[in-house]
Amino acid sequence: MNPLVSVLGPSTYSEEAAIWLLKDTGWTLHSCRTIADVFESTMSGKTTYSVIPLENTIEGSVSMHIDWLVHDVELPIQIEWAYPILMHLLTFSSGDLHQHEFPDQLHKVRKVYSHPVAFAQCRRFLAEWLPQAEMEPVGSTAEGARIVSELKDDTLVAIGPASAAARYGLELQMSSIQDQINNFTRFVLVGHEPLPQLKPQGCKMDGHKTTLLLMPDADFPGGLHQLLSAFAWRRLNLTKIESRPTKRELGTYYFYVDVAAPIDSILLQGAIQEIEAIGCRVRLMGSYPSYQYELTTNN
């Protein structure tokens, strides 16, 4: 039986990214209203995998999702991929307003509905074009589109994907309003079952990564330097390193690192042994293939 994959949705960026990764696999997507429901569906065994956004070009890490993976669930990362995120301004149209007239009517907008991450990625646009509007955060970009569709008020708008506009019958009034054109989000597929070999189309293999959680037992001068030295002298590239609070005591942290090597690498195994030898616990969060979206004239 084909796997069931939980995703924030429907008509969200997470769903778009999942459809792109899993096309032609025959896998089924299971839409959830909140990211907590996405995690819970896989933890409970209702679905096999979950699609989780972890990092964005503009806003960096999605800390809440990383904390979920670390503190609340035991779901290994099975694959990661980057997917382009295009933000659009969506409106209810009564038929009295033509698209080319809309920019002149922006001063009439009272409220903007979207996910907080979408607001952050469109900060400059909102400050320049909608300084008078109130930002109303909701659980997903699709949820914002649904609310605007139901309220049928020309003074309310949403920020979201084109798929949400199509689903809820909204007008796509202004396109690609995110602060950076080259805006990508890094998604991961998490779950207990090893992932079958996937060969996503329209992307290139970007090597193999291993995500580790480094948890020092004590804070001492040069401690972080010692940890990083274990990777450095072996010439292991760290593509990401981030400190996050342990949530046990103020001022105590763990280090979340991505290593550009598979877990069965002899060099990485040596680094882990060296780190454990100096009194630091190491937790494997996943070892997985990494894919990059290839921009072409067609996409």
Task: Encode pLDDT of 17-45 as tens digits.
Answer: 999 888 878 888 999 988 899 999 999 99
Written as six digits, the tokens of 62 are 């999605």
Decide if 277 contacts 230 (C-beta within 8 A). no
pLDDT in tens, 129-163: 999 999 999 988 999 999 999 998 888 999 999 99
* Domain boundaries along the sequence of the chain: 1-84+183-195, 88-174, 202-299
Decide if 101 contacts 107 (C-beta within 8 A). no
pLDDT in tens, 237-272: 999 999 988 888 887 889 999 999 999 999 999 999
- Give the CATH H-level superfamily of domain 1-84+183-195: Periplasmic binding protein-like II (3.40.190.10)
Specify the CATH number of the domain 88-174. 3.40.190.10
- On the question of pLDDT at 98 being above 50, the answer is no
Fold classified for 202-299: Alpha-Beta Plaits (3.30.70)
Residue in 161, 139, 159, 185 with CA at minimum distance from that of residue 36: 139
Cα→Cα distances 136→9, 84, 85, 293, Å: 19, 24, 20, 31
**Residue 89 φ/ψ, nearest 5 degrees:** -90, 120
pLDDT in tens, 218-244: 777 777 889 999 999 999 999 999 998
**pLDDT reported for residue 295:** 59
Residue 203's pLDDT band (cuts 50, 70, 90): low
Residue 206's pLDDT band (cuts 50, 70, 90): confident
Q: Do the domains 202-299 and 88-174 match in fold?
A: no
SS3 for the chain is CCCEEEEECCCCHHHHHHHHHHCCCCCEEEEECCHHHHHHHHHCCCCCEEEEEEEECCCEECHHHHHHHHHHCCCCEEEEEEEECCCEEEECCCCCCCHHHHHHHHHHCCEEEECHHHHHHCHHHHHHHCCCCEEEECCCHHHHHHHHHHHCCCCEEEEECHHHHHHHCCEEEECCCCCCCCCEEEEEEECCCCCCCCCCCCEEEEEEEEEEEEEECCCCCCHHHHHHHHHHCCCCCEEEEEEEECCCCCCCEEEEEEECCCCCCHHHHHHHHHHHHCCEEEEEEEEEEEEEECCCCCC
- On the question of pLDDT at 116 being above 50, the answer is yes
Residue 211's pLDDT band (cuts 50, 70, 90): very high
Residue 296's pLDDT band (cuts 50, 70, 90): low
Q: Is 86 exposed, middle or buried (0-12, 13-18, 19+ CB in 10 A)?
A: middle
**pLDDT reported for residue 274:** 95
Residue in 179, 190, 277 with CA at minimum distance from that of residue 226: 277
- Which amino acid, one-letter code, is at 112? V
